[in-house]
């Protein structure tokens, strides 16, 4: 049985009005995983991911942004990069 693990995603974007998380785990649906903003300007969400490799990006006020804290990226079909998270 594959066990899902809770993973927290964070982005510092104090000027942003709306931030969501999209990736291979939700069919790149920008409305599926909204984030919450704290008083310091950090947006975060926690989702459960099954073991394996997942690509993702933040969707900030209508623009795709990579996670600055991500250490692994993969070229995508649009000529830019997706962030990659590995769940063991």
pLDDT at 3: 78
**Which of these, 18, 2, 19, lies nearest to 58 by C-alpha position?**
19
Q: In the prediction, which pLDDT does 1 show?
A: 56
- Domain edges within the chain: 5-87
26: which DSSP letter? G
Q: Is 46 helix (H, G, I), strand (E, B) or coil?
A: strand
Q: Computed from CA positions of residues 39, 43, 49, 54, in that sequence, does the dihedral angle turn out positive or negative? A: negative
Q: pLDDT value at position 87?
A: 93
Question: 85: Cβ–Cβ under 8 A, 6 or more apart, which residues?
Answer: 7, 49, 53, 54, 56, 70, 72
Q: Fold for 5-87, please state it.
A: Immunoglobulin-like (2.60.40)
- What digits encode the pLDDT tens for the residues 16-65? 999 999 999 999 999 999 999 999 999 999 999 999 999 999 999 999 99
Cα 61–Cα 64–Cα 65 angle in degrees, nearest 5: 100
Is the pLDDT score of 2 beyond 90? no
């Amino acid at each position: 049985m594959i066990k899902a693990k809770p993973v927290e995603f964070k982005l510092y974007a104090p000027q942003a009005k709306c931030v969501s998380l999209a990736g291979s785990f939700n069919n790149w649906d920008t409305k599926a995983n909204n984030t919450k903003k704290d008083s310091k300007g950090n947006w975060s969400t926690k989702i459960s991911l099954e073991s394996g490799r997942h690509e993702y990006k933040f969707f900030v006020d209508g623009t795709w942004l990579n996670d600055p804290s991500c250490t692994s990226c993969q070229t995508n079909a649009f000529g830019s990069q997706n962030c990659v998270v590995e769940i063991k």
